[in-house]
Structure 1
Amino acid sequence: MHDTASGLAQRGKQLPLEERERLVDELLASLNEPSAAELDAAWSAEIQRRLAAYDRGEVHALPAEEVVAKARAIAR
């Protein structure tokens, strides 16, 4: 990308007010997004938590065919 922050800011200032507000909102939201490593760690922890619950017998698995059939019935 060849645009600098300064150049983008100058171009952004030319946008209508509502578009500038939207741009600012999107940029601010992007600062709070977790990194890929953080997402990977969170999913890994969730997988381990679910697997441990399954191993302890706290949750039970369903056959994939049953899950798909229920999802299709709900979608109708």
Structure 2
Amino acid sequence: MLSIDQLMTEALSLPSALRAILAEKLVESLEFDVDETIQTLWSTEAKKRRDEIRSRAVLPIPGEEALVQISDLKS
């Protein structure tokens, strides 16, 4: 069996598309006892936000800018 370090080295040597698939599968393996109601609500909200961006009703901002705005609210 590979050590964690060996496994990480192997995983990080994969092409990015395969690393994304691996990451998704690893996260899925941690998701247990998922509340289907909450999952449905989050899925609905995510689709609503996606549609708002696609229709340009809402304009996205870079993550760094969002973090600055959040930080400013805390001050």
The normalised TM-score by structure 1 is 0.50
| Percentage of pairs with the same residue | 19
Using the alignment, how far apart are the partners of 1:73 and 1:57 within structure 2?
26
Using the alignment, how far apart are the partners of 1:46 and 1:69 within structure 2?
24
Using the alignment, how far apart are the partners of 2:61 and 2:45 within structure 1?
19
Q: After superposition, what is the alpha-carbon deviation per residue over 1:19-42, rounded to whole angstroms, capped at 9, x for unaligned?
A: xxxxxxxxxxxxxxxx80011011
Q: After superposition, what is the alpha-carbon deviation per residue over 1:4-29, rounded to whole angstroms, capped at 9, x for unaligned?
A: xxxxxxxxxxxxxxxxxxxxxxxxxx
Matched, 1:53 2:37: no
The answer for the alignment partner of 2:66 in structure 1 is: 67
Q: Give the C-alpha shift of residue 72 in structure 1.
A: 1.2
What is the 5 A alignment of 1:1-76?
36-76=35-75
Using the alignment, how far apart are the partners of 1:71 and 1:58 within structure 2?
21
The normalised TM-score by structure 2 is 0.51
**Structure 2: 5+ residue stretches without partners:** 1-33
Q: Which runs of 4+ in 1 moved over 4 A?
A: none
**Structure 1: 5+ residue stretches without partners:** 1-34
Count of paired positions: 42
Max radius of gyration: which structure? 1
